[in-house]
């Protein structure tokens, strides 16, 4: 669900992939503080194959996961996590998020 993360200016910018269309497509966080929801990304944000971009080191990945702990389900950042029957928010636990993504996996699920 935290598909993209980058450190800029010493701060972590993290884009959470939400369960769309029940929720906005993405939520942008900077250092675990929500900036806002994004439904349409600009063309300049469209990334080619993941293999063309650098991958976080194990320690960077651990840092991002620790920073974003508890922020998997949509709404947790506002204290009202989604618990709807019609989306998958309830499965977006920290344990689920920590699962490694196999090389080349471009869908919305680990493994």
Tens digits of residue pLDDT in 7-43: 999 999 999 988 888 889 899 999 999 999 998 877 7
Q: CA-CA distance, 71 to 62, in Å (whole number)?
A: 15
Tens digits of residue pLDDT in 49-103: 655 667 889 899 999 999 999 998 888 898 888 877 777 777 778 888 888 765 5
Q: What is the pLDDT of residue 14?
A: 94
Under 8 Å between Cβ of 65 and 98? yes
Q: What is the pLDDT of residue 80?
A: 84
Res. 111: pLDDT tops 60: no
Q: What is the pLDDT of residue 104?
A: 46
Residue partners of 16: CB distance under 8 A and separation at least 6 = 1, 2, 3, 26, 27, 28, 29, 68, 71, 72, 74
pTM value is: 0.78
Residue with tokens 């769309």: 20
Query: For every residue of 13-73, which 3-state class applies, written as one string?
Result: EEEEECCCCCCCCEEEEECCEEEEEECCCCHHHCCCCHHHCCCCCHHHHHHHHHHCCCCCC
21 upstream amide cis, omega within 30 of 0? yes
């Amino acid at each position: 669900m935290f598909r993209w993360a980058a450190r800029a200016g010493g701060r972590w910018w993290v884009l959470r992939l939400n369960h769309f269309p029940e929720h906005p497509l993405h939520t942008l966080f900077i250092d675990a503080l929500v900036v806002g929801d994004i439904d349409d990304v600009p063309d300049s944000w469209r990334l080619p194959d993941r293999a063309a971009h650098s991958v976080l080191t194990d320690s960077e990945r651990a840092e991002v996961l620790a920073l974003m702990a508890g922020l998997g389900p949509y709404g947790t950042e506002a204290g009202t996590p989604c618990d709807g029957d019609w989306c998958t928010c309830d499965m977006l636990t920290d344990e689920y998020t920590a699962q490694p993504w196999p090389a080349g996996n471009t869908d919305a699920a680990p493994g």
